Amino acid sequence: MTSSNRLTIILATVSLVISLFTTSISIAFADDYLLPPPPVEDEIQPLDPMRV
């Protein structure tokens, strides 16, 4: 029974660590995806004056 308890504790800790890494990676990718859009808006702004 002690071995099974240790396995469950190890699996719980591993799952928590993996979840933390996934969240940090997802946030990093989100930042990478959120940063590019502003330049796109800058590219669209010059087109508006030309159309006007």
Tokens of 11: 């699996």
DSSP H or E segment with residue 52: none
Question: Distance (Å, rounded) from C-alpha 38 to C-alpha 35?
Answer: 6
**Domain limits of the chain?**
2-51
pTM value is 0.47
pLDDT in tens, 1-52: 678 899 999 999 999 999 988 888 777 776 666 555 555 555 555 555 565 5
The Cα–Cα gap between 15 and 12 comes to 5
